[in-house]
Amino acid sequence: MTDPALRLGTDIVDVRSVEASIQRFGRRYLERVYTDAEIAYCSSGANGGADRFAARFAAKEATLKVLRPTDWRPEWRHIEVVRQDGGWCEIQLRGPAATLAREQRIQIVSCSLAHEQSYATAVVLGSYRAPTTDSLSSPDHA
């Protein structure tokens, strides 16, 4: 059995860029990128929540860096940032994003978001378990 490896993804987003997309495209942009729960939480913030939206966009990008898709990318809404009662956030994968993670043997372990005036950033940590030699020699892999 091999030891687990870690995958780290990070991203930084200009809050003004997200704010401009919200102003230009409104609900159409929000519903294309964010889940209903993300929209509800972020919209409750000051200044329309552009800083919160930007942090979540950064987390979605950082998650993609952990998942490393090659042929296609999951939809933005299949990667959700879920704020916990204690204030920290976790990544919830759905649909094709969850399938991609399972196929690659990746589990999202932790994430951290931050935003300050003009920029938002996120770091996502995933655990990757390489296939064992036993699984490679099984009839399913012949």
The domains of the chain are located at 5-141
What pLDDT was estimated at residue 142?
40
Per CATH, the number for 5-141 is: 3.90.470.20
What pLDDT was estimated at residue 45?
75
What pLDDT was estimated at residue 139?
47
What pLDDT was estimated at residue 38?
97
Dihedral angle sign, alpha carbons of residues 56, 61, 63, 64:
positive
pLDDT digits (tens, 9 = 90+) for 86-140: 999 999 999 999 999 999 999 999 999 999 989 999 999 999 887 766 555 444 4
- For the chain, what is the radius of gyration of the CA atoms? 17
What pLDDT was estimated at residue 131?
73
